[in-house]
A and B are shown apart, each in its own frame.
Chain A
Amino acid sequence: MRVTCTVNGVDRTADDVWEGESLLYVLRERLGLPGSKNACEQGECGSCTVYLDGTAVCACLVAAGQAAGRDVRTVEGLAPEGGLDPVQRAFLQAGAVQCGFCTPGLIVSVHDLLAHNPQPTDPEIREALAGNLCRCTGYEKIMDAVRLAAADGAGAA
C-alpha cells in the first residue's frame, strides 16, 4: 500500500509498504531517515522514539498505516539542516554519547521531557527516560546532559 505522511515538515510518500510494517521500517528503509534506531522492535529500548502528532512514541510499535496523514518528527527534524538542537548540543558537551545507538531516541525523549517540564528534578528525569535503554554510559553522563540542556533553557526554545 501507499503511505503518505508529513515527516519533519515535509510531505513524504512511501510505496509498496507491507500492511503489517512499522513506522520505524518506513522511516529507515523507505524514506532514508536512519536516525531513529532499530534495536528491539518491541517497545523496550526507546531507540526508535519519534513524535507522532506531537506525542513521543516508539516508532516500532506504530503500524505504517496508522501514521498515514499524520505528522511525524524524527531526531533528524529537531534542528534545521546543519544545526543542532540545544538537547543535541548538551549531549555532546556532557559526553553523553558513546556508541551512540541509544542517542537519537534519548534526544527525542529529552526534547519531549523539557518541552513539558523545562526544569525537571532528577527523579523526574529518570522517570521520563525509563523507556530508553543505554548499554554504554551508565546513564550518569546522560543525566548531566539533561541537566545541562535544562540549564541552557532547552525546554523554553
Chain B
Amino acid sequence: MEPDELPTPDAIRPPGGPAGSAAGGAAGPATGNPVAEAVAGGTGGRPGHGEPVLEIRGLVKHFPLTRGILFRKQVGAVKAVDGVSFDLHRGETLGIVGESGCGKSTVAKLLVGLERPTAGQIRYRGEDITKLSGRALKAVRRNIQMVFQDPYTSLNPRMTVGDIIGEPYDIHPEVAPKGDRRRRVQELLDVVGLNPEYLNRYPHQFSGGQRQRIGIARGLALRPEIIVADEPVSALDVSVQAQVVNLLERLQNTFDLSYVFIAHDLSVVRHISDRVAVMYLGRLAESGTDEQIYDHPTHPYTQALLSAVPVPDPEARESRTRILLTGDVPSPADPPSGCRFRTRCWKAQELCAEQVPPLEVPPRFATPDAGPAAHPSACHFAEERQVVPGE
C-alpha cells in the first residue's frame, strides 16, 4: 500500500511550483509591527526554505454573543482569535499547538477562507487576501487547501470516492478538463497510497486511515502550495498514525508543499514541524524552531504544557518534575486583562495584569550569546527552564 517512490502525475503541482520566487520582495516591506518582525525573523526554517508564502498579521476573529429571539442584541463576543501573527515559509511545516478551545481550528478556517476575519491581514505572496473577492479570491483560494480532523464526518457518505476527490474540479474546472478527471483522480489515489481502482467505492468501505488518505487526496486535487491540516491524525488508531504522518512528509518533499499543522499532540507536532507556535486563549504565547520550543522553552505556559505530556518511558517517571497548573482556562468571551495566562501562572505579578506582554524576543535574551533561548516569547518574566527529560 505504501508507494516507496511517488510518481509526479499531472494532477499535482511539480516540485518548485510555478510562482517561483515572485514574492521574494514581498517579505521586505517593514510592517512597523515589532511583534510581526520578531516572529518573522530569528526563528529560521529548515535550511533552504525560501520566502514566506503566508504572512499573518494581527489576525482577529470574534464571534458575536447574542441574546433575545425577536430582537437579537449583541451582548459580547467570543474572542476566539485575538491578534495572531506568524509567517509560513515555502516548503516548511509550522506546527500550532494549544489546548482545546484556544482557537486553533478558527485560525485554520480563517486561513482557508471558511471564516472571515474580524480584523488583520492574511498576505499570500505579498497580497492581503482578506481584501479580495470574486474571481481573484477564488484563484488564491485554490492554493490554500485544508485537511480536516475527522475522516468519519468530513467525507460525504453518499458520494463515491471519485466524486469526493474530484469535487474541487467543479469549482475550478480550469485545473482539470472534464474528460481528464477520472485519470487525475486515479493518480491522486495512487499518490496517497490507495488502489486507483477504488474510485467507485463509498467512504464507509474504508478504514479511518484510508479515509484520511482520501481527505488528503482531495486536498491535493487543485495542486495547492499550502495545506492547512487541522488535527489530521488525532482520530486515527495509534498503529496507523505513523503511516499518515509519513505520507504527509513524503508528499511535502515531493511537491514542495508548505504545511500549517495543527494538533494538540505535542510529540507529533515536534516530529513533523520545522517551527512551532504555542497558542493560549486566542493568542500566541511562544514561537520558535522545534528545538527552541521543546528544549529551551521560556514561556511558563509552554513549560507547563510540555511538562504535562506523558512520555512513553517509565525510566523518566522519577526524574521528571510536573508543573501542575491550577484552575481552568478562562472563557474566551471574558479573557483576563494583560497576560491571558496570568490567572493560572505561578509567576504572575501586578505588571502581568496591567500590560499585555508582546510576542518578541525577551530583552534579556536579545544578546548575541543567548543561544536558543532567543526566540519570541510573550512573557514579561521569560526565563529558560528545561522540562522535557533526556538530552
To the question of whether A and B form a pair in one complex, the answer is no
Question: Residues on B close to A: CB < 8 A?
Answer: none
Question: Residues on A close to B: CB < 8 A?
Answer: none
